[in-house]
A and B are shown apart, each in its own frame.
Chain A
Amino acid sequence: MSNRDVAVIGVGYTTFQALTPDVNWKEMMFEAASEAYEDAGLDPRKDVDSFITCAEDFWEGFSIFDEFTPDQLGAVLRPMHTVSGDGLQGLASAYMLIRSGLCDIVAVEAHSKISELLTFEGVVKLSFDPVYEAPLFETAHPYAAAGLEMRSYLEASGTTEEQCAAVAAQHKRNAFSNPIAGFAARIETDDVLDSGYLFDPLKKLEIAPRADGSIVIVLASGDVARRYAKPVYLEGIGWSSDSPWIASRGSDAPYAARAAEQAYRKASIANPQKEIDFAEVDDQFAFKTLQHLEALGLARPGEAGHLAEEGALGRNGHLPVNVSGGSLGCGHLMEASGLAKALEVTLQLRGEAGKRQLSNARVGVAQSWRGVPHGTGAVAVFSRRD
């Protein structure tokens, strides 16, 4: 009986930057992919059984993006498909390919070349229901939808604006110890509070700036992974999508709670607060960090804001969160955001996180959310098992 465990055996990545006019997206992806294969000691032309890219045509600007990915991943005339979703949903596909026995080694790529989209708001508007919601956003900015979700979360959980601001400041400071992060800043809670309302109660410095970058993660079955010095096991993964009707959604990120339930069940995690050592969660908007931590069961409802205030979510706190800098400090990588979280968890579990390395990191969780106006999220649990 072969070992159908799933483990990360290679990672590759570019830096995350606001602008990347020097390279095209293919050259950017080749950089990340070739590093991942080198890291795994593999020849993609022979050793990788299947390839996955996570991309959304409207972000890229041309249709059927699948067709443009084989060259730079080493996937020409090989099994290849695109997941029109976040990087963690791509990892989920790879997980299934390996668990089912169809493949032993699968490469997952996700990227952002969002700087090349000149009308970001225009494309976000296209993701609202065309008949009912889109006409309402003809005048308001689509991120107003994040403002109304933040208000209902603050109201329901008792979280304060100061607590959300503390998160934003923390993540931007964390980014200083991450060499690939593009948006580190030495700021305090007051700086965030003073940055001005864009979508009251949401403030300017609580919104993750967009960034370009590419990440590739190579996964393998347990049999293959055993040959590696530092395999990081993908113990469980889950994903779920809420209704697209904004008005009928809860304020507690139920998509993340459901995705976590599924991932924890697979990973045999009964008590996440006890069993998970650190987390990289979606923080496209600062309040989302707190809302997601509560949905993931890493804090009680209404508790995450207090943890942020007390410094418990910092690198030396009892639940380190987004020590990478998160999307607020690294930049928001669109569909690659989830892979950025998985990358950080992997580096921490390998002991390769440099200046921001956590001590005793054994089990980590990565979580993603597809952003306004979506209600889709995914959760992945990783461990180092030694």
Chain B
Amino acid sequence: MAEQTKEYRATLKPEGVRGKSIRKDELREVPHVTSRPNAKYAWAAGVAMSRFLDELKEGRIVGRKCRKCARVLVPPRMFCERCYRQTDEWVELPGTAVIETFAVSYLDTDANRIKEPILVGVVDLDGAPPHCGFMHYFDEMSPDEIHIGMPVEAVWKPKEERDGAITDIRYFRPRRK
């Protein structure tokens, strides 16, 4: 049965070698090549996102409204994926929101454990129908305080530090009356 495969396996791994685990330093002894991809890109933001990023620089949040389903798409898109039609108009939003969902992250981006957890989540933006919003950070609140439905507001970088990126909003904090 499957004699050829058996023979082939034997040429790859002589008897007695199969199943033997090797240490990391032994792995480096195996003939190998190393390489680092030279792959650089510059992606055009596009019509909708370009305007969005420009407005962020000015401290404004804008979306695109689809008249058919009445959603306001933020970040904006030139077409509505549900209705499959172009979106109709620009809408400016006040920068206040409520927390739709959140997670408390005890690991940083490189999987290191951190003392002060990072609060991430999705905000539902005021001035737009439910489930129209985006992902961002939360701060000036503790993991015990944060909850779904919590009213929040955007905290902006100082104008001179903004560079037309979603990080021009530093985070959302509990809304102050």
The reply to whether A26 and B46 contact each other, CB–CB distance below 8 Å, is yes
What is the distance, in angstroms, from B83's C-beta to the closest C-beta of chain A? 8
Q: Does A2 have its Cβ within 8 Å of any Cβ on chain B?
A: no
- Taking CB atoms and an 8 Å cut-off, the chain A residues in 19-49 that contact chain B are 20-27, 30, 34, 37, 43-45
The reply to whether B39 and A24 contact each other, CB–CB distance below 8 Å, is no
Q: Which A residues touch B38, using CB under 8 A?
A: 119, 121-123, 125
Q: Does B156 have its Cβ within 8 Å of any Cβ on chain A?
A: no
Q: Does A140 have its Cβ within 8 Å of any Cβ on chain B?
A: no
- Taking CB atoms and an 8 Å cut-off, the chain B residues in 138-160 that contact chain A are none
Chain B contact surface mostly: loop
Check A27/B33 contact, CB under 8 A, given A21-B44, A118-B40. Answer: no
Q: Which A residues touch B45, using CB under 8 A?
A: 24
The reply to whether A71 and B77 contact each other, CB–CB distance below 8 Å, is yes
- Taking CB atoms and an 8 Å cut-off, the chain B residues in 62-106 that contact chain A are 77-79, 81-84
Q: Which A residues touch B77, using CB under 8 A?
A: 26, 71
Of the candidates B33, B40, B48, B82, which one forms a contact with A76 in the assembled complex, judged by CB atoms under 8 Å apart?
Answer: B82
The reply to whether A118 and B41 contact each other, CB–CB distance below 8 Å, is yes
Q: Which B residues touch A61, using CB under 8 A?
A: 39, 41, 43
**CA A126 to CA B48, docked complex, whole Å:** 33
Q: Does B42 have its Cβ within 8 Å of any Cβ on chain A?
A: yes
**CA A58 to CA B38, docked complex, whole Å:** 11
Q: Does B35 have its Cβ within 8 Å of any Cβ on chain A?
A: yes
The reply to whether B33 and A131 contact each other, CB–CB distance below 8 Å, is yes
Check A74/B84 contact, CB under 8 A, given A116-B41, A135-B33. Answer: yes
Q: Does A177 have its Cβ within 8 Å of any Cβ on chain B?
A: no
Q: Does B14 have its Cβ within 8 Å of any Cβ on chain A?
A: no
Q: Does A157 have its Cβ within 8 Å of any Cβ on chain B?
A: no
**CA A30 to CA B87, docked complex, whole Å:** 12
Q: Which A residues touch B49, using CB under 8 A?
A: 24
The reply to whether B39 and A27 contact each other, CB–CB distance below 8 Å, is no
The reply to whether B41 and A24 contact each other, CB–CB distance below 8 Å, is no
**CA A121 to CA B39, docked complex, whole Å:** 9
What is the distance, in angstroms, from B87's C-beta to the closest C-beta of chain A? 11
The reply to whether A117 and B39 contact each other, CB–CB distance below 8 Å, is yes
- Interface residues in chain B, defined as those with a beta carbon under 8 Å from any beta carbon in chain A: 33, 35, 37-49, 77-79, 81-84
A34-B84, A44-B84, A76-B82 are known contacts; what are 4 more A-B pairs with Cβ within 8 Å?
A24-B47, A26-B46, A27-B78, A119-B38
- Interface residues in chain A, defined as those with a beta carbon under 8 Å from any beta carbon in chain B: 20-27, 30, 34, 37, 43-45, 58, 61, 70-72, 74, 76, 113, 116-119, 121-123, 125-126, 130-131, 134-135
Shortest 9 CB-CB contacts between residues of A and residues of B? A24-B46, A122-B38, A71-B81, A61-B41, A74-B84, A118-B40, A119-B40, A21-B44, A119-B38
